[in-house]
Amino acid sequence: MSTKRRRCFLFIIHGLAWYYTSKNLLVTIMQRDYPLEKVRNFGIIAHIDAGKTTTTERVLYYTGVSHKIGEVHDGETTTDWMEQERERGITITSAAVTCFWTPTHSASDKDKKHRFNIIDTPGHIDFTVEVKRSLRVLDGAVVVFDGVAGVEPQSETNWRYADEANVPRVCFINKLDRTGASFEHSYATILDRLSKKAIRVQIPIGLEEKHEGVIDLLQMKAFYFEGEMGSKVIEKEIPEEYKADAEKYHAELIEKIVEQDEKILNEYFEGKIPDNATLKSLLRKGVIANEIFPVFAGSALKNKGVQLVLDAVVDYLPSPLDIPSIKGINPDTDEPLERKASDTEPFSALAFKVATDPFVGQIIFFRVYSGTLEAGSYVYNPRTRNKERIGRILRMHANDREEVKKVYAGEIAAAVGLKDTITSDTLCDEANPAELLRIVFPEPVISLRVEPKTKADQEKMGMALNRLAQEDPTFRVSTDQETGETIIAGMGELHLEIIVDRMKREFAVETNVGKPQVAYRETITGTAEVEGKYIKQSGGRGNYGHVRIRVKPMDMSLSKEDIEDLPKSVKREAHFEFVNSIKGGVIPNEYIPACEKGFKEGLDRGVVAGFKMVDVQVELYDGSYHDVDSNEMAFKIASSMAVQDATKIARPVILEPMMKVEVITPEKFMGDVTGSLSSKRGLIDGMEDRGMNKVVKAVVPLSEMFGYMTNLRSMTEGRAGFTMEFLRYDIVPQNVTDEIVKTRK
């Protein structure tokens, strides 16, 4: 071999060696930086004004993400970054933050450092969508309660959403420094209204202005918070005056914990007390199984107790490895499948939020359940049956972002470059497709008519509304077929007010807005059988469709198991059930889907006042067809006509949204408040004391609550306030029905 050839050969060998070495090095560099067992995905949820965002700000400060604490009242918080949030002092959109925490009990051990992916969610009922979708992708939650009010209406709703998603929780009773604060009262409301499985893990040292620290009932130690912003956690002995209570509640706690293991429970009854490590392990097991909800105490504003709540997140809330495998179906075969939280599994992720960023465009937030994803690779969307390229992957810190090359199982991240992905879509590996269960969102209860102020605004308004509807699944846009007006619908007045404000600020669209309208619905209370025929002959081939149907109210009492056991001939959806009872081919199978579509279209416009008809079962039991003239269109029209005729006979009624209302008022205005609610067709549901005030609970129609805040303030010298959330739909009284019908003509 010549010298020149030898050099060339050696050059190639060295080059290949460098390539494989560097490739392996790259793989090493791109490996997961935190093992799965040290990852915690959790949310902070609460009623409005319970102190969620203040708690989150302390978390960011203590974990080193933020070097100063932003206060809600100053409009300087990290997670409330939207202009509207800072102006109003409320959270509107959920914010994702990544940070790191080493538990205080292992502060010197850097191997104990954990990664937190936190989502701060809104408390206001109008933005409940953010809570619902966040809980779907989180492994745990910290539920914050006001130390004065205890459990409030939105706390109950959030708790119910967490139950639905089977999310383990720890409770934090906050604001124990406030006048009127009572840890025991707040704890009692948790037991009474949310769950008997809650148990004190801490009790406060002092209340109101005397609130100094907390007592840990497991360790039987007192903890104080000193230094700048309470950053030093000081362990001391329990003060003498609290020892008796601490001993009593310690015994209660131990008893609750040992119930998680039969063997240890028997040993406990024999007088053998488990050590702290065993107790912590059992408590963790109970929390993950949703058998125990530990309750902590403190004051986020006064920097007391937050670090110990973070310790609890590490000690008791699950990692992605502790939760069951995510379930889904194979979109090609409809067979059920599971994906484990592992980097080696095929990639699967759920898109839970769409946001628009002024700098990078549309961002899709997603939770990776299995496998890994690299920037620049392609993902498959089973809904659209298309592949899309991931441009960039971002790790979010509220409105700041960090670009990463790769994300792993158990992580929450955001993708740039996805055009056809919407909330609830699954992203997966094309070779191993999986479709995860979609998130179910509540229906809007209120609507507004909007029109652009100028011709230029008209063009921009359509784009803005489309963009906002993509971001928020509880926000709907439609067109009134009779007037051609654009109608926007949402969860409340504030929700739609924020939408209109965002159109103006983010999209420079000026609009005229109509009065809020209630999202009424219609249903039937009786049964009916009718025949629908559509026969049209106009020379040549004609149209022939003929159906016989029964309609009746849907059975809403069926459990989840009952619905799963329904026969194949029954197709059940939200608010509609189709029963195919056709025998012997009297209507060919190819026309059945057209009939079903016709029924749905017929129910879109009710027969009383034109509102959407809901909760109706339609049974197709007979009919006929023509060999030549029958077609899908004819059967669809015949079905639509038949269902309209049937619902007219089946005692149709209008339904209206009923709201659960809580009014907090000084005692001297009680009579005025209850009288006012009764005059609004409200049903008084109960009363209770809350500090120096009274709480009036009532169920009131939404239509009667417009402008209620102004009315309430003038009635109570501006000293009362109220909260309201959707409860159910009820039948409208006949006199109100007549008024609604009159306005619709």
What distance in Å separates the CA atoms of residue 518 and residue 703, rounded to the nearest whole number?
A: 6
Residue pair 129/442 in contact (Cβ under 8 Å)? The answer is: yes
In 3D space, the residue among 738, 658, 663 whose CA is nearest the CA of residue 702 turns out to be 658
- The pTM of the full predicted model, rounded to 2 decimals, is 0.71
Mean pLDDT of 264-284: 89
**E strand or H helix at 114:** strand 114-120
**pLDDT tens-digit series, residues 683-742:** 999 898 876 788 899 999 988 988 887 888 888 887 787 878 788 899 999 999 999 998
Do the Cβ atoms of 159 and 196 come closer than 8 Å?
A: no
More confident site: 645 or 138: 645
User: Which span out of 3-12, 248-257, 715-724 was modeled with the highest average pLDDT?
Assistant: 248-257
- What is the structure's pLDDT at 13? 40
> Residue 463 has what pLDDT?
86
Residue of 627 and 23 predicted with greater confidence: 627
**168 pLDDT above the threshold of 80:** yes
Neighbours of 245 (CB within 10 A): 15
Name all contacts of 276-282 with Cβ < 8 Å and 24+ positions apart.
276/218, 276/219, 279/218, 279/254, 280/218, 280/315, 282/257, 282/258
Q: How confident is the model at residue 227 (pLDDT cuts 50, 70, 90)?
A: confident
The enclosing H or E element of 44 equals strand 39-46
Residue with the larger pLDDT of the pair 665 and 73: 665
Lowest-confidence pick of 5-14, 263-272, 484-493, 594-603? 5-14
Residue in 682, 686, 684, 689 with CA at minimum distance from that of residue 705: 682
Q: Is the pLDDT of residue 568 over 80?
A: yes
pLDDT over 90 for what percent of the chain? Answer: 38
Which band of pLDDT confidence, cut at 50, 70 and 90, is reported for residue 8? very low
Which residue's structure tokens are 């002959």?
Answer: 537
pLDDT at 152: 81
For 299-355, the pLDDT digits (tens) are 988 889 999 999 999 999 999 999 888 888 988 888 889 899 888 999 999 988 887
Residues 392-423 pLDDT 10s: 898 876 556 788 899 999 888 888 888 888 88
Query: Where are any strands of DSSP class E within 460-541?
Result: 476-479, 486-490, 511-513, 517-518, 521-524, 528-536
Three-state SS string over 318-375 comes to CCCCCCCCEEEECCCCCCEEEECCCCCCCCEEEEEEEEEECCCEEEEEEEEEECCEEC
- Tokens representing 581 are 């009872």
Per-residue pLDDT at 447 exceeds 50: yes
For 580-589, what is the mean pLDDT? 92
* Residue 218, token pair as written in the block: 């497991």
Q: Are 426 and 381 in contact (CB under 8 A)?
A: yes
The answer for residues whose C-beta is within 8 angstroms of residue 569's C-beta and 6 or more apart is 579, 580, 581
CA–CA dist 417, 361 (Å, integer): 8
Q: Which two tokens stand for residue 741?
A: 């019908």
For 46-55, 65-74, 356-365, 672-681, which range has the lowest pLDDT when averaged over its residues?
65-74
Poorest-confidence range of 23-27, 112-116, 289-293? 23-27
Contact 512, 503 (CB under 8 A): no
pLDDT at residue 19, rounded to an integer: 37
> Of the ranges 2-16, 121-135, 667-681, which is most confident?
667-681
Q: Which amino acid is at 541?
A: R
Contact status, residue 553 vs residue 617, Cβ threshold 8 Å: yes
Q: Are 443 and 519 in contact (CB under 8 A)?
A: yes
Burial class (CB in 10 A: 0-12, 13-18, 19+), 727: middle
202-206, 613-617, 658-662, range with the lowest pLDDT: 658-662
Q: Pick the closest to residue 196 from 296, 285, 292, 283 (CA basis).
A: 292
- Among 92-106, 361-375, 658-672, 725-739, where is mean pLDDT lowest? 92-106
Range from 115-129, 522-536, 596-610 carrying the lowest mean pLDDT: 115-129
Q: Write out pLDDT tens, residues 40-83.
A: 999 888 877 777 778 878 888 888 765 444 444 333 444 333 44
Instruction: Find where tokens 């670090």 sit.
Output: 307
Strand pairing partners for 689?
A: 694
Mean pLDDT of the chain: 84
Residue scoring higher pLDDT (624 or 268):
624
State whether the Cα torsion 237-242-247-251 is positive or negative: negative
Greatest CA separation for the chain: 108
**What sign for the dihedral angle of Cα 28, 34, 37, 41?**
negative
CB 323 within 8 A of CB 139: yes
DSSP 557-571: T--HHHHHTS-TTEE
Res 464 pLDDT > 90: no
Please write down the HEC assignment for all residues of 537-549: CCCCCCEEEEEEE
pLDDT reported for residue 23: 35
Distance of alpha carbon 320 from alpha carbon 338, whole angstroms: 14
Mean pLDDT of 277-286: 92
Q: Residue 446: its pLDDT value, please?
A: 84
Between 480 and 264, residue with greater pLDDT: 264
Write down the residue that tokens 């130690």 correspond to: 221
**Mean pLDDT for the stretch of residues 146-167:** 85
Burial class (CB in 10 A: 0-12, 13-18, 19+), 34: middle
The pLDDT of residue 153 is above 70: yes
pLDDT digits (tens, 9 = 90+) for 234-250: 999 999 999 999 999 99
Closest by CA to 638, choosing from 530, 531, 533, is: 533
CA distance 101 to 34: 12
Average pLDDT on 76-101 reads: 52
d(CA 276, CA 282): 10
Quote the pLDDT of residue 217.
Answer: 94
Is the pLDDT confidence value at 30 over 60? no
Please determine, for residue 656, whether its predicted confidence score (pLDDT) is greater than 90: yes
